[in-house]
A = this chain, B = another copy of it.
Amino acid sequence: MLTLQYRKRFHYKLGGIQLSQTFNVEWSWIKDFVTKVFVAYGIPEDDAAICTDVLLASDKKGIESHGVNRFKPIYLDRLRDGIQSPVTNFEIIRETATTAVVDGHDGMGQVIGTKAMQMAIDKAKEFGMGMVAVRNSTHYGIAGYYTDMAAKAGCIGMTGTNARPSIAPTFGVENMLGTNPLTLGFPTDEEFPFNLDCATSISQRGKIEYFARVGQDTPEGMVIGRDGSAMTDSPAILEALVNGEAALAPLGGIGEELAGYKGYGFATFVEVLSAALQQGNFLRMLSGISETGEKQKFHLGHFFIAIDTEAFVGLESFKKTAGDILRELRASELAPGEERIYTAGEKEFLIWQERKETGLPLNEGVQKELIAIRDDLGWTEKLPFE
């Protein structure tokens, strides 16, 4: 299946390029459909509403790679394969005034994530700071959802998660670390919060799938082959990533020349905070494949940090200064040929301004998947794009 991660970042440059025929559905329709399906897969109604909200938050921001595109392969298929549970047992293993360790028992990552960040926020509201470490979780959707929760509550938010091994360490060639986002957010006096939601690799598989589809080489430095060279042949990379013959380079690239050790260091920090505080799994344990080649539970780990701005000089003062900084950055001198300077979260906000009117564009692959999901459930309702 094609992921459209590229649209997030290249949206304004590529303009109207479409990867396939798309059909725009109304937000209310997709919300109802996805929720109904989640419920049909055994997820309790309240939890299903959360899972849908996290999933569509991604589409609303234009991050299709983590939205309805993933509904079937990442969530429904894993539920069907029995490697994650529709009913979420959110067990608090240990708790102090500001901290908690939670076992998610392989339930829905979005439910675990939402409850865990809410705990961190509640602790921050009472004690100034809060942090929750989670083990035995599953894919929790876009990390930025949780920092947005914190920002809405007037808090600085931080979150990270480990993931299937895909980044090679600096001077190494083996896919060891997950794309491990180090996700940061805070409130501002503008219409949208600061939200830096990014993998600690330069890129992700989705962008290389895009390059392959449009016949472009992958820029040098994004991917390292087993022989240590920078791979650029996009179709070859996609195959090599699957069989372990290639790995993603950390932010900063291959080797040390452009400071790849920094991205590698950030990825390592996220890996450790996602496992060592909670006695969770890490690195190769997170492959999702057992020694005998079968699919197995991922047992992912996450962490969630909330810091209440009210505990410092106050929310309004914080928001004003934060906004002033962001506005001053955007108003600084533009590079010739560029249209504008953005701050983190702004592009996603602009996409939502457009999409809330136009609805959600679904590409043909996703349309077919939704039809197959309906058929599989034995439902007869006609979908809008049929």
Which of A50-58, A83-91, A216-224, A361-369 forms contacts with chain B?
A216-224
Partner of A258, one of B182, B221, B227, B335: B221
Do B321 and A283 touch (CB < 8 A)? no
Partner of A344, one of B9, B265, B317: B265
Residues of B within 8 A of A202 (CB): 252, 258-259
Do A96 and B128 touch (CB < 8 A)? yes
Do A325 and B268 touch (CB < 8 A)? yes
**A383 interfacial by beta-carbon distance below 8 Å:** no
**A313 interfacial by beta-carbon distance below 8 Å:** yes
List A residues 163-203 near B (Cβ within 8 Å): 168-174, 176-177, 182, 184, 186, 194, 196, 198, 202-203
**A272 interfacial by beta-carbon distance below 8 Å:** yes
List A residues 260-282 near B (Cβ within 8 Å): 261-266, 268-269, 271-273, 275-279, 282
List A residues 123-174 near B (Cβ within 8 Å): 127-131, 133, 156, 168-174
Complex: A325 Cα to B268 Cα, angstroms = 8
> How many copies of this chain does the complex contain?
2
For residue A38, give the distance in angstroms from its CB to the closest CB of chain B.
Answer: 31
Do B325 and A275 touch (CB < 8 A)? yes
Given contacts A196-B269, A277-B309, 18 further A-B contacts (CB under 8 A): A169-B343, A171-B334, A171-B335, A171-B338, A173-B335, A174-B332, A176-B332, A184-B265, A198-B262, A203-B259, A251-B259, A251-B263, A252-B263, A261-B342, A268-B325, A268-B343, A277-B312, A278-B312
A residues with a Cβ closer than 8 A to B are: 9-10, 93-94, 96-99, 101, 127-131, 133, 156, 168-174, 176-177, 182, 184, 186, 194, 196, 198, 202-203, 219, 221-222, 224, 226-228, 251-253, 255-259, 261-266, 268-269, 271-273, 275-279, 282-284, 307-309, 311-313, 317-319, 321-322, 324-326, 328-330, 332-344
